[in-house]
Structure 1
């Protein structure tokens, strides 16, 4: 132990400089890597997943078979000749899905039966679901900073903007500390029920730290909920739970249940939209129809 302390005393400054250089290099490389990946995702979102997702949704929204077949022809004429959009997705699974779908499409062209159309459209829906997942994931990553930017920059007072910027780091720190506290509590409880009691000296510190983090976490979660930092926080757990246990048919039969499954904001927003439509646009549309 004395040897280690002596080495730290003699070479502490040198070791500190080496560690600082290594950590700085790692952080710079990670930052450059993140920027490069964000550029790739932005390109994919704008030119690949977004275009494919809305193209497929447009086809699936058609009602007549003739309209569907025409849209399918345009879709495969476009993407069979130009695979850039598929390649930009960087998802091998989706590329394989498209190749399988393309084969089924040519089978359908050679024999236009309802069975072949059903197989084709089933694969088409599977491709839509895969691309939809990629699209919303990329959208969330690319635009993760936008909502914070809007929240902060919408405040006219510069001190409020500075406070919100500081609060963001504080919020992430508290949430991260809460995860660490869970690990510490688990280790402490495990040690307490063991025979060795190797960590008995820190039981009190862990208890105090847990109390402090619990208070800070409640404060952070309350503030985050009030200003809606993310889309997930808008859709609270109560709404998700009600949506899970209440069948859609029951909601359709009893519209008042929508407040439980969709939330007050969604219901009130629809009511305002209906009122605005009836007051401003409905009469004009009726005149156009005549």
Structure 2
């Protein structure tokens, strides 16, 4: 022990410098890696997943078979000759899906019957679902800071902006502390039921810390709901559950159920849109039709 203390005393400054250099190098490499990955994801979103997703949705929105087959031809003519969009997705699984779909497309061209068309469109929808997941994941990564930036910079008072920036770090700290508290409470309860009671000395501290974090967590949750920190497209669990339980035909028959399956925001937005359409645009469109 004395030898270690003597070594630390003699070479502590040098060791500290070496550790600092190593940690700095690691942080710089991680930062460069994150920037490189963000660039790749942004490129994929703009030139790959985005264009593929909207192209496929456009085809699936068609009603007539002739329109569908015509757009399918344009789709495969484009992406079969130029695979850059598929390669930029960096997803081998989706590339494999596309190759299988392309084979089914040429099978359908050789024999245009309902069976081949059904197989083709089923695989096409599977590809759409896979690309949709990639698209929204990449969109979330690329734009994760934008909403908060708009919230902060929309405030004219500089002190409000500074307070919001500080609050964001505070909010993330409290949420992480709540996770740690959950682990601590689990360990404490487990120890309390055991015979050893190895953590008996910290029971009181765990209870005190849990109360404090619970109060802060409720405060943070309330503030987040007020300023809409969380993304609007995230459904709450109640809405998701109602959507699974209530069939769509019931929702169409009884429109009041939409508040349960879609949420108040969606229903209220549609009502405002209908009102604006009737007041500003409907009369003009009717005159044009005449």
- TM-score in terms of structure 2 length: 0.94
C-alpha distance 157-211 of structure 1, shift in aligned 2 (>3 A): same
Aligned residue in 2 for 1:169: 169
Indicate the SS of the match to 1:167. helix
Q: Which deviations, in whole Å up to 9, do the C-alpha atoms of 1:90-144 show, x marking residues without a partner? A: 0000000000011111111111111111111111000000000100000011000
Aligned residue in 1 for 2:149: 149
Aligned residue in 2 for 1:139: 139
Aligned residue in 1 for 2:281: 281
Q: Indicate conservation of the 8 Å contact 1:177/1:213, yes or no.
A: yes
Aligned residue in 1 for 2:39: 39
Aligned residue in 1 for 2:29: 29
Where structure 2 has 5 or more consecutive residues not aligned to the other structure, the ranges are none
Where structure 1 has 5 or more consecutive residues not aligned to the other structure, the ranges are none
CA RMSD, Structure 1 to Structure 2 (Å): 1.8
- TM-score in terms of structure 1 length: 0.94
C-alpha distance 233-101 of structure 1, shift in aligned 2 (>3 A): closer
Measure the CA separation in 1 of the matches of 2:47 and 2:7: 57
Q: Which deviations, in whole Å up to 9, do the C-alpha atoms of 1:47-88 show, x marking residues without a partner? A: 000000000000011111111111011001100000000000
C-alpha distance 19-194 of structure 1, shift in aligned 2 (>3 A): farther
Aligned residue in 2 for 1:115: 115
Measure the CA separation in 2 of the matches of 1:127 and 1:139: 18
Indicate the SS of the match to 2:50. helix
Aligned residue in 2 for 1:76: 76
Q: Which deviations, in whole Å up to 9, do the C-alpha atoms of 1:219-274 show, x marking residues without a partner? A: 11111111111226863333333333333222222111222222222111111100
Measure the CA separation in 2 of the matches of 1:281 and 1:241: 37
Q: Which deviations, in whole Å up to 9, do the C-alpha atoms of 1:153-201 show, x marking residues without a partner? A: 0000000000001111111111111111111111122222222222222
**Per-residue deviation at 1:204?**
1.5
My pick for the range that moved more, 231-240 or 193-202, is 231-240
Paired residues for 1:1-290 under 5 Å? 12-231=12-231, 235-290=235-290
Q: Indicate conservation of the 8 Å contact 1:225/1:234, yes or no.
A: no
Q: Indicate conservation of the 8 Å contact 1:181/1:210, yes or no.
A: yes
Measure the CA separation in 2 of the matches of 1:125 and 1:97: 11
**Per-residue deviation at 1:31?**
1.1
C-alpha distance 245-113 of structure 1, shift in aligned 2 (>3 A): closer
Measure the CA separation in 1 of the matches of 2:264 and 2:37: 38
Measure the CA separation in 2 of the matches of 1:111 and 1:234: 44
My pick for the range that moved more, 96-105 or 226-235, is 226-235
Measure the CA separation in 2 of the matches of 1:25 and 1:209: 36
Q: Indicate conservation of the 8 Å contact 1:228/1:234, yes or no.
A: no
Q: Indicate conservation of the 8 Å contact 1:42/1:138, yes or no.
A: yes
Measure the CA separation in 2 of the matches of 1:99 and 1:42: 24
C-alpha distance 151-21 of structure 1, shift in aligned 2 (>3 A): same
C-alpha distance 3-176 of structure 1, shift in aligned 2 (>3 A): farther
My pick for the range that moved more, 218-227 or 82-91, is 218-227
Measure the CA separation in 1 of the matches of 2:203 and 2:125: 55
